[in-house]
Structure 1
Amino acid sequence: MKRVRKHIRFRGRVQGVGFRYTACYIARSLGLTGWVRNLWDGDVEMEVQGQPEVIDRLIAGLNQGRFIQIESMDSEDIPVVEESGFRELY
């Protein structure tokens, strides 16, 4: 199976609404690796690695968050790296 790594920047109501917690929970349950962190300007940044359709399931799950409101996101493919787990950065 093909693995990809994506750098994604989320905009909208994405801080103070459990976005990072939800991202970690869903990503770990799907077996994805990477990290998520808040940015100083109110956006959230993520690098996530796994099969493309599984990454799509993560994003769909985030869109179903009760308080999370993703207004837009920018995504770019970046090189795959060796890592284990999905974590929250501060």
Structure 2
Amino acid sequence: MASLCLHGYVSGRVQGVYFRQSTAAEAEALGLDGWVRNLDDGRVEVLFEGDEAAVRTLATWLEHGPDAAEVSSVALTEQAVQGIAGFIVRR
């Protein structure tokens, strides 16, 4: 099973709409590891890794996020797998 790590930024109305918590729930359901956090400029930053198919599934989910979100763009780049254990919401 191939592993993949993606890091990136989600823009739009993505703060105050449970985006971080929803991302963590999706990642955990997919068996992914990593983290998500809000940035001062209104974007959400995310890093997630695991099975390549699951990573690509979460990447697609980020394009719309939870129901209350209005995603305008998602910019993800591949990184070396970091060996993170679990998925956390950073403050």
Q: Structure 2-normalised TM-score?
A: 0.90
How do 1:1-90 and structure 2 match up within 5 A? 1-62=1-62, 63=64, 65-90=66-91
Separation in 2 of the partners of 1:30 and 1:57?
Answer: 8
Which structure 2 segments of 5+ residues have no match? none
RMSD: 1.3
Separation in 1 of the partners of 2:57 and 2:76?
Answer: 15
Separation in 2 of the partners of 1:9 and 1:17?
Answer: 16
Which structure 1 segments of 5+ residues have no match? none
What's the CA shift for 1:9?
0.4
Structure 1 segments of 4+ aligned residues over 3 angstroms from their partners? 59-62
The one-letter amino acid of 1:25's match is: A
Matched-pair contact (CA < 8 Å) for 2:65–2:71 = no
Identity of aligned residues (%): 34
What's the CA shift for 1:18?
0.4
Separation in 2 of the partners of 1:60 and 1:41?
Answer: 23
Q: Structure 1-normalised TM-score?
A: 0.91
Separation in 2 of the partners of 1:66 and 1:52?
Answer: 25
Aligned length: 90
